[in-house]
Amino acid sequence: MSRKGTEFFKWTDSEVELLLRVTQEYKVAKASENVDWETCQNKYGEILDRFKEQYPADDVDYPHSKDEVTKLTLTTKLKAIRLKYRHAVDSGRRSGHGRVVLLYCELCEQIWGGSPAINCGIETSDINNRSSTTSDESYPPSVSRDSPSPLLCSSAPSPATASEDSESTETQNRHDRLNATLLSYR
């Protein structure tokens, strides 16, 4: 069985920091163009080009040549960092999720945001029931994971029938559990 080239590429702390800084600059550049950087088809190729432009030629902290860093190694490293960072945010702790997340947590937060993933949200049946009873109401804006603090869910309007009452109570209970979980992350 053959081994992939990414298994032999060992990133230094300086290389990882440069990668995260380049990624953050790329995100800012795309935001100024009013484009979500994570939806760009060629984001890893463009980040690699920027990374190679800023990669120093001769330095002890940068032992690899520019040609050794490939799109595959860069993509694999960024995805691994993002995954570990997401686990750290979801657990509410920096430690225990790798050296990179511990050292560069602030950079990761600037790139991927700092709000934890929520374990429950609005279900399709909630939307369908609400849209059938009130068609002209506007819905609240969606919560962005890049927002600085998580928004707390508000209670839904009380329905008129008994079956809708039990659904509303269940939904309210879910909202209360979510609010308690979100408050514990602060």
Domain extent, residue 40, equals 5-112
Can you tell me the mean pLDDT for 22-39? Answer: 93
Q: Is 118 a domain residue?
A: no
Q: How many domains does the chain have?
A: 2
- Same domain, yes or no, for 19 and 104? yes
Can you tell me the mean pLDDT for 56-85? Answer: 87
- Same domain, yes or no, for 81 and 173? no
Tens digit of pLDDT for each residue in 39-54?
999 999 999 999 999 8
Name the domain boundary from 68, 91, 112: 112
pLDDT at 121: 58
- Same domain, yes or no, for 78 and 161? no
Tens digit of pLDDT for each residue in 14-23?
889 999 999 9
Q: Is 119 a domain residue?
A: no
- Same domain, yes or no, for 10 and 95? yes
Residues 6+ apart with CB under 8 A from 61: 12, 13, 14, 15
- Same domain, yes or no, for 102 and 168? no
Residues 6+ apart with CB under 8 A from 51: 18, 19, 22, 69, 74
Name the domain boundary from 74, 92, 112: 112
Residue 59 pairs with which residues in a beta bridge? 62
Name the domain boundary from 112, 142, 157: 112
Tell me how far apart the alpha carbons of residues 184 and 83 are, in angstroms, rounded to a whole number: 22
